[in-house]
Structure 1
């Protein structure tokens, strides 16, 4: 194992530098006294400072580094337990086994036989990929305000609730929370910064970056990695059959009606669509938009332009800030707005951001339910409780 150069005894190291030294040298004999000396601090003060900064005691942190690397070696190699113990810094195979079981909850041999890896995600939308495969992550973004559907469904089942809003990948608090969940892999739909991947790797955590852009292909990537191919095939078949049934119901009502997707923000009107809506409406349901935008768009238009389109039906997003609300209240009194066919006929559908801004299997399934209910008045049998969307086999 490659080590850092020996630290310079004449130079005081920062707490961050000492931790970096521990990451690269966890297989060496390490103790609080030696590490404190690197920072030119007393052992007690160093220990208190380290725990305050990183959420673990010094030796608990060393143990987590060693055990996480042991998990990777158990997953990816055929090394014997005694060799793994020596590789990560334990001279006694039996002591290593006891530490491993205390940290992981099962013995090294039982962990080696287990087929399922512990998964964590940073993006709320990736929760919508995991749960349809029957995978509950050990860490994921959950918040009663920002991810209400997942929060209500899974708050008691997901051990570590990460922040549900975008945060920098070098957020120390997020990293501390993630490491506390002890995942085997972090799944991401975007390429992580190299420094982040290195930090996760240093803790024995793999990173799976999804390469596909479509949710079906992304789901297949996750299923292939986690051994859930059968569940994936079953769920996609369920979705395709459901989409076909909803498409038939809608077409019997809509005939040739065209939709406009409108987003109001402050005093502006925008012709809008996103990836999920485009795929759902134009692909899965074969509905027509007033303008067939090939890519997701958020294009400003005037009320006069909207009136020239005069769509039969309007899907409307109204941003929640105060200035947009005032503009929306004003717009409803404008003669051009009131003269729109969709408005006169009552075919104006206000959409919430959740699930319509999310791109995942769960969100697509929930949007199918909502569009059917809005247009036809038919309530899907599977809708339960106070959340939007149709559970798949009672699970979502």
Structure 2
């Protein structure tokens, strides 16, 4: 169960340094040649060794190394290197002597013999691709024999590539070591496993391990173990039917009161309140709702976590919010959207052809009849009718966005040539319509006298048009319109 991870250190230090290639040597050993004296390699500068042969031998600071293609060793100035090859195997070794330069107080300082090494990685590395290592070996060897500036730049480029590969190896090995230690910590989270034990597992010193662990996972060992224990406690509260005392014992605490205090500090809820709230399945559809629910001592299982101001919520309640909502959608369905738009444009033309004989160029009024209110639709309420199909809207309604309540006596002033009437579901709305349809104000309307009235009962797109302002209901409404006006397919 991995928690938040941070990038490994090392690269940033290396990137702030400069490197200057000073010399290139190529050592090739004839295994049949006799050697009367021990051969040492001088290291007054930083030195990178690259092997291009199998089974050669080299001793660095008294430790034997068996060479193979792709083997790299980065040495600090002053390290003792002995070139030995008594087993009769060929040896082919590239030596790159280089300076490491750091800017201090607006002046450049180069690494020197006896000073602390500046390059953040010293030691052995093995490249993943021996073939790529062989290509670098040959490229640097070939260009080092030429006396042009471009050839030397290619050698320096090769040095930088090899240094970056050595750092990559170090980062990968450190990642594996830290991950191994983290898994060990999680496996034994109920015990107080010592930092020294974890450092030994990672193959690092205590201080170095503590620093790298915090940089890697964003928190120290003790804090990580506490958060892991609390996460496990939440899992037990949400699933198994255990008492608080049983949960506390299972996760490695001995004091129930201490655990309750720690739990409330971390979550903002007492354990009993938290357990009760986990039975509710709530969703917060905005980050504001999330904050309001938390104030009511409730944690939703679904909430938006895609804004920078929800970082605190994300870090604190990522276990509880199992479904992450978003305000932004990257669906990568542009082609499907274009297809839908083309199909919609075709449907608009078909609907226009069907409706033209009935509607012509006259002004259409959409009238909604509710239980105790009449209202007229505005421009926003039906973009399909007034924008897509180009049906004329009564001029007096053009300043209305969605809808506007109206009295029966005001209908005559709208001057509509045709009226589409929607009656809400329910007996109250039907009774209201029954009363209106027999009123003098209604019967005197020119559209009513001409028989240009179309009735629609309980059609979803009319109930709350602002809730239906999306692609699917708009397309459905467009295709249903001819039938709403009495045109049979």
TM-score range normalised by the length of the shorter chain:
0.3 to 0.5
- The answer to which structure, 1 or 2, has the higher relative contact order (CA under 8 A, 6+ apart) is 1
Find the structure with the greater CA-based Rg.
Answer: 2
TM-score calculated relative to the size of structure 1: 0.46
TM-score calculated relative to the size of structure 2: 0.38
